[in-house]
Amino acid sequence: MIKVYKDFDKHIKRAMKAHSQYVKTKKDGLRFWDMKTPYLIHPIWCGVTLLTETKLNDNLRWNGAVALLYHDVLEDTKYKLPRDLNKEVVKYVNEMTLVNGDKKEKKLFKKNKEIILLKLYDKVSTLLDAVWMKPIQLKEFKKFTRKLLRIVKREYGELNITRIAREILK
């Protein structure tokens, strides 16, 4: 536990490097809503927000937070996952990567509850700046996020992310 905590700053720096120096295209390094905000704020927000969940066990909090830092690296960058990541973090990153994209996200609900929890952070973060979405796309995105929210609430109870999600989804 202490080692993960001690190394968290190292993982933030690596995620920042991946999303600033190793992007596949220039647009992959920027947020859609304004095309000037660095993309790296998204994985950092997700990971740090998960760390506020003191109701979750420490293993899930810390491994999940590190996984959230890297959750878009395989999809959006040419950066390789660090070799020193533990197996659980790598598993979480791979599971989250496999469910991205409209058609593949439907498979998410067959994944374990930890992946659904982590995807809720991802989707809520995206909703914070969803001004770029067309109304029909936003409606579908919110519907999907509501389903994640229901599952997370059932599996984990009331968390900070469930309160944030409910407010954004109003």
Residue 109 CA to residue 37 CA, distance in Å, equals 31
| pLDDT tens over the chain, length 170 residues | 556 667 899 999 999 999 999 999 888 888 877 888 889 999 999 999 999 999 999 999 999 999 999 999 998 899 999 999 999 999 999 999 865 555 566 788 888 999 999 999 999 999 998 988 999 999 999 999 999 999 999 999 999 999 999 999 99
Burial of 116 (0-12, 13-18, 19+ CB in 10 A): buried
- For the chain, domains (ranges, CATH) are 2-169 (1.10.3210.10)
* pLDDT in the model for residue 33: 79
Give residue 98's pLDDT.
62
What integer pLDDT is reported at residue 4 of this predicted model? 64
| Rounded-to-integer distance, Cα 51 and Cα 68, Å | 11
